[in-house]
């Protein structure tokens, strides 16, 4: 019997029962075995391959999402967790900015896994189209990919033209470059403010009236732990993100009664290109090897590791869910305990 391997995901009761019955036909898989089925399940043991095909067939017949097909082994055997919570956002539409890679992509995948259609953006078209294709194929949701610089008026206009009335907005953009407090002049601050404060504010202002009129909306801004505890080499980020945080604190409370929530999600150190770039930059200035810098940084994190984009995305998806309707103007820190504070 499957025991704790049984997963119900977020299916309505009838479908869920059907799936649980099917799952209970499977013998248990050893804990140490990692199963990430490829798209037709060829890499699974034979009994799981048969089951995989059966579920695909059933899903095609009864219209379940691709996530509930191909996710069943990954969720149970790579992460060993149960996913029973229905986030209540199936069929909604989200704009996820700066989402071909890293944390934005993590948020996009987590929302897609719960049946949310997406509008993605990034500057480089190639990786963006690859991400969009992967999400369509894996989760079976509609994905529109807009190659643009979200920090420009033109870029934002393109994204909003593709999706003028999103239910969910996840604001994100690349972070400002590191440096010393004496390095930056007016133009550097304006660029950081444009990217990490004024861009999210412009998008919030564009989508908020529609969300309020419809009586439901979720806005999550990806900011940084630097809002809670300044990071010395990221003075531009410290400054710009704090400005956004102040705007959100006031605005979220003015619109909460209309059913729209605005919150910030603060990454600590996550294993993405951005983090690898920062480690490289520290290594260059200190003369250490990059691997040693990473080891040092991780040793300062109570969890002793970097976070993953998947963990970040799952938290974001919860903040976008029906369950998070009473979360207003909050700064949710996801940092493995790195910021050393009681509150």
Q: Which residues bind ligand NAP (CB under 6 A)?
A: 98-104, 121-124, 127, 149-151, 172-175, 222, 224-225, 267, 269-270, 272-275
43, 41, 65, 34: which is closest to 135 by C-alpha?
Answer: 65
Min CB(163)–ligand NAP separation in Å: 15
Tell me whether residue 99 or residue 321 sits nearer to ligand NAP (CB atom): 99
Q: Least distance from C-beta 111 to ligand NAP, angstroms?
A: 15
Q: Computed from CA positions of residues 306, 235, 261, 217, in that sequence, does the dihedral angle turn out positive or negative? A: negative
What does the block give as tokens for 148? 């643009």
- Residue 17 CB, nearest distance to ligand NAP (Å)? 39
Length of the chain: 343
Nearer to ligand NAP, 277 or 325 (CB): 277
62 exposure class (CB count in 10 Å sphere: 0-12, 13-18, 19+): exposed
Nearer to ligand NAP, 64 or 163 (CB): 163
Query: Whole-number minimum distance, CB 275 to ligand NAP, in Å?
Result: 4
First and final C-alpha spacing in the chain: 44
Distance of CA 331 to CAs 224, 229, 250, 266, 268, Å?
A: 9, 12, 13, 7, 12
Minimum distance from residue 77 beta carbon to ligand NAP (Å): 26
Q: CB of 268 within 8 A of CB of 338?
A: yes
Residue nearest to ligand NAP (CB): 175
| Closer to ligand NAP by Cβ: residue 59 or 99 | 99
41 or 336: whose CB is closer to ligand NAP? 336
């Amino acid at each position: 019997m499957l025991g704790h391997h049984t997963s119900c995901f977020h299916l309505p009761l009838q479908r869920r029962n059907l799936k649980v019955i099917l799952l209970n036909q499977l013998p248990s898989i050893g804990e140490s075995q990692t199963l990430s089925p490829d798209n037709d399940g060829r890499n699974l043991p034979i009994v799981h391959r048969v089951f995989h095909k059966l579920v695909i067939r059933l899903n095609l017949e009864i219209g379940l999402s691709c996530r509930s097909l191909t996710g069943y082994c990954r969720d149970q055997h790579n992460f060993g967790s149960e996913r029973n919570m229905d986030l209540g956002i199936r069929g909604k539409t989200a704009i996820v900015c700066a989402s071909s890679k890293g944390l934005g992509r993590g948020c996009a995948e987590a929302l897609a896994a719960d049946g949310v259609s997406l509008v993605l953006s990034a500057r480089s078209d190639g990786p963006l189209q690859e991400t969009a294709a992967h999400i369509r194929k894996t989760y079976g949701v509609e994905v529109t990919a807009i190659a643009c610089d979200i920090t420009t008026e033109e870029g934002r206009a393109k994204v909003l033209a593709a999706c003028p009335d999103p239910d969910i907005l996840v604001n994100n953009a690349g972070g400002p470059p590191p440096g010393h407090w004496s390095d930056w002049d007016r133009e550097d601050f304006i660029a950081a403010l444009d990217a990490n404060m004024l861009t999210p504010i412009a998008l919030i202002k564009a989508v908020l009236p529609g969300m309020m009129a419809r009586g439901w909306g979720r806005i999550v801004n990806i900011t940084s732990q630097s809002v809670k505890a300044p990071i010395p080499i990221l003075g531009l980020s410290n400054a710009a993100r704090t400005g956004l945080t102040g705007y959100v604190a006031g605005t979220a409370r003015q619109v909460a009664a209309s059913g729209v929530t605005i919150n910030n999600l603060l990454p600590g150190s996550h294993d993405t290109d951005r983090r690898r770039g920062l480690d490289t930059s520290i290594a260059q200035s200190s003369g250490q090897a990059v691997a040693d810098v990473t080891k040092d940084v991780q040793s300062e994190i109570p969890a002793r590791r970097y976070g993953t984009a998947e963990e970040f995305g799952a938290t974001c998806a919860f903040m976008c869910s029906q369950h998070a309707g009473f979360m207003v103007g909050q700064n949710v820190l996801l940092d493995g305990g790195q910021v050393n504070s009681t509150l």
